[in-house]
Structure 1
């Protein structure tokens, strides 16, 4: 079986760890081969997240070809379509895994595959909750999905969305998303012994909530700041708690101003974004992750936090909540339009009304199956199922 995977961005490190695990499985079986076509190096909007490789940067080895060494936005439809078709014809795959239904170039490849009897697996990140959905777009998706033989989904909510659009449940071959659990945990454990010293050097509190991500409107950070300010008023242990916002984005200045107006300058710390494999250095200085997004297809930072044993407080509009956030075990879920609910949950942690050690244990137990080697095996099983 010859497997061809089409992926948008070489920068997407979380996928690289899965592709490496999949390559390892394929190399052990002489009847299999795999090739990954990376369309672009990165998106322009994520350019600031690119970093120069150093000795500590995790590297991943798998068979791939970078079609265009530039930003995805700068590659025309004609260029993408011609390159994908040329490489597919040369490789002669038995099955193709496409990134998504939103790229016309990949839809052309889908049509070519169906004409040539090649099986197609479509990846889906979307959920019914992450955007308002109606009209001709949903009808168009239904027609695209009918042409696919299987689907890899970012969790149960993503799978449920496809089923709502008429996809038979048997065609859902994967319901998971993974990060490099081992690499992240290693950095966390390496940093943890220096927690107090590093907190003091950054002028952080002894205990901290932490947000990790881009500082943009959809992340709902002004609401988080307001909820935290209110929690400080209600908690009996307010003096021991702070909030870290780790990331870059358009709202940096706005959030800085809000922090000042709320008189939180000694409680809220804005830290610039850092490479993904350095994020556990900040998680090691924190106690609880908060992800208050109004829309999030999955929320990989929840994986990252749980790998490090952190409890999580996550918006119900994040795709991962159904699979990863188990109330009173790994964390809590809240409505991002109800700041008072978030305040109540933060106060529970601040006033020691939550068994955080128990949550740390369950976080690592629940996240264990969401690892690259597990996801890779389920992908390979899915490829075999639809080609047989």
Structure 2
């Protein structure tokens, strides 16, 4: 049987998940086809990987940039591909993208299994009743779901998906890569050249309002003002995006410009070097469906300081806090600063132990867990397809 998945553009973590799923399906005598909407994407300019894969890879618009393709063209191309390939089950990422809705409707017309792959949680943003009603109607198009964790399941249940039709494991990265590469960098003394000399806090994100970088910089300045002279850590902010100018101004206002480093957007291998020598990882987002960079950092063996609004927070930093790191209120700069101080004041041996615990926790949430969850959702859908409401009007 043929299982199909579509992502807008394949980054490293998409490929890791797809490879694990292809391997699991092959062991069952099944096959995976992975659709990629576009060959390029401005929001996440990942390095393009073109080597042969263990799954069938189909790029709908190989020479186009995602943001430039009209919605109608995406839906039409997806429908044409499905009519040609006739998969038995579809993993549909979300219910907003045009190609996702085209996939969901195609499963209805052709009596195929449909699995919603979602990382939305109720606290991500303010919810408007009529939009939630539309989502609830769209939920009728899916037989089962694959989500990151309990908060994501709870949100789908609120929209009408029965809890016993939801599997876990959607949010995964290539744990083995980040673990191995970080350890390799640490064993190369010359690899630290150009990095801050002392332990440093590291954050990796788009420079966008929801990532809360301005408040993180304010919290870092508070931490520096309270730290023992000569022992304060630096802050490294990897990434780029639309809020770059505001971040620059925040750095200037902080009075800590010499201690804040911005190496830009980095591909996975270069980024792993910054993970390797960091003292801890910080994710300060006020809206973060999951936060895959936290998975990467944990796999690299870093203690985690995570916003309580991040979907991964209670999975990767479970109670009691302190074992893998700590959580904080992203709206409170003083509490954020207190968590920075807490981590920086830990003895090195304790910090390393916290990082090892984070690595152990995230090891249960790698690509293989994604593959298991996808197959679990497929089996639920095959055993008992949902009785669905009438087909949604096009564009609803």
Asked if TM exceeds 0.5, the reply is yes
Give the length in aligned residue pairs.
379
Structure 2 residue corresponding to 1:271, chosen from 255, 259, 263: 263
What is the deviation of 1:331? 1.1
**Which residue matches 2:59?**
66
Instruction: Work out whether residues 155 and 323 of structure 1, in 8 Å CA contact, stay in contact via their aligned partners in 2.
Output: yes
> In structure 2, what is the Cα distance between the partners aligned to 1:4 and 1:198?
41
State the 1:365 CA deviation.
1.3
Name the CA distance, whole Å, in 2 between partners of 1:27 and 1:217.
42
- 1:232-381 counterparts in 2 under 5 A? 232-236=224-228, 239-326=231-318, 327-352=321-346, 355-381=350-376
* 2: CA distance, partners of 1:28 / 1:215: 42
Deviation at 1:198, TM superposition (A): 4.8
Match of 1:133 in 2: 127
CA distances 1:210-232 after superposition (whole Å, capped 9, x unpaired): 11122222211121111111112
State which of 21, 26, 35 in structure 1 corresponds to 2:33: 35
1:2 corresponds in structure 2 to 2
Alpha-carbon distance in 1 for matches of 2:368, 2:121: 25
Unaligned runs of 5+ in 1: none
d(CA) in 2 for partners of 1:344, 1:58: 46
User: For the Cα contact (< 8 Å) 2:146–2:373, is it kept in 1?
Assistant: no
Q: CA deviation at 1:240?
A: 4.3
Separation in 1, partners of 2:264, 2:98: 36
Give deviations 1:188-224, integer Å, cap 9, x for gaps: 01111346x554x426141111111222222111211
CA change 1:122–1:362 in 2 (3 A) is same
How far apart in 1 are the matches of 2:293 and 2:132? Answer: 29
Distance verdict in 2 for CA 1:85–1:59, change over 3 Å: closer
Deviates more, 1:151-160 or 1:340-349: 151-160
**CA contact 2:119–2:171 (8 Å) conserved in 1:** no
Determine helix, strand or coil for the equivalent of 2:155: helix
Paired with 2:51 and 2:77, the residues of 1 have a C-alpha distance of 29
Cα deviations across residues 240-259 of structure 1 (Å, max 9, x unaligned)? 41111112223334333433
Deviation string 1:166-205 (CA, Å, 9 cap, x unpaired) is 211011022441111111112101111346x554x42614
Aligned to 2:391: none
3-state secondary structure, aligned to 1:152: strand
Assess if the C-alpha contact under 8 Å between 2:38 and 2:61 holds in 1: yes
Distance 1:74 1:240 in 2: 45
Cα drift, residue 124 of structure 1: 1.0
CA distance in 2, matches of 1:234, 1:108: 55
Q: What secondary structure does 2:122 align onto?
A: coil
TM-score (norm 2): 0.89
* Map of 2:76 onto structure 1: 82
Q: Where in structure 2 are there 5+ consecutive unaligned residues?
A: 384-396
1:94–1:282 Cα change, 3 Å:
same
1:329 to 1:26, Cα distance in 2 relative to 1, 3 A: same
Residues 310 and 4 (structure 1 numbering): CA distance in 2 closer, same or farther, change over 3 Å?
same
C-alpha deviation, 1:291, in angstroms: 0.7
Q: Which residue of structure 2 aligns with residue 384 of structure 1? A: 379
Q: Distance in 1 between matches of 2:106 and 2:248?
A: 51
- 1:96 corresponding residue in structure 2: 90
Name the SS for the 1:243 alignment partner.
Answer: strand
Shift of 1:64: 1.3
Q: 1:81 is paired with a residue of what secondary structure?
A: helix
Q: Which moved more, 1:74-83 or 1:115-124?
A: 74-83
Separation in 1, partners of 2:334, 2:53: 43
